[in-house]
Amino acid sequence: MTALGQEDFTREAWSLVGRKVSKARLINDIYETACASVALPVDKDSVAIAMFRMVIAQARSLIRQRDEIERTAHALLSENRDYQLLRMIPGIGPINALTILAEAGDLRRFAHHRQFLKFCGLDLATCQSGTFRGRTKLSKYGNARLRRTFWMATQVAIRQRDNSFRDKLGRYVASHGNDPDRRRKAMTALTAKMARVAHAVIKTGAEYRPFDERADTRWKDPSLSCREGATATL
């Protein structure tokens, strides 16, 4: 990067940066970080640079494979109604939707969302022995791949605009902005919410809406009371 100079680097990197960020600020931060790196200076023909290029090539190969899997998944499942409903949920793309359907099967077989949360290992459990009562935390006894998929989908959803996941995170950490433990708990709660939403939209056949029109700020999760023909808004 530093071998190019800041202007040349900015010109080369401009088309590679996404549109959802401030390109100028991000590229400038990357260049300044490179200039301050303790690894510099390194000869561009050195073994270290050659190894780094191999790692980059491997990463690009994995990205191409991932994109191919996404295209294949979408081509095979584009007419599947459950797949379509899942894709409407923020954060759930072709691979996440494919993983949910492959790992969970027909979500309608879970009569209640609590059963699905337990299947995912997103239910709460307390370790007890005699008079001892431990802390209540996630059981993590269920399907780890589903749990990871919903966690990753939640990470994507909170970075998008105007959806209930980002709204709930903001309300949950509003008074604890610098508390990492509070944010971790919020992310865990949102992951469970993501699983409830997936179960609700498939079980009811209702499409996801980012917000429910309501008069007050204290509201019950509609996934607990969705009925056939209703619209699941979570």
Q: pLDDT 10s digit of each residue in the chain, 234 long? A: 777 788 888 888 888 776 656 778 888 888 888 887 766 667 778 888 889 899 999 999 999 999 998 899 889 898 999 999 999 999 999 999 999 999 999 999 999 999 999 999 888 776 666 666 667 777 778 899 999 999 999 999 988 877 888 888 888 888 776 788 888 888 988 999 999 999 999 999 989 887 654 444 444 444 434 444 444 444
What is d(CA 29, CA 27) in angstroms, rounded to the nearest whole number? 5
Q: How far apart are CA 204 and CA 223, in angstroms?
A: 9
* Class of residue 21 by CB neighbours under 10 A (exposed 0-12, middle 13-18, buried 19+): exposed
Q: Is 46 exposed, middle or buried (0-12, 13-18, 19+ CB in 10 A)?
A: exposed
The reported pTM is 0.71
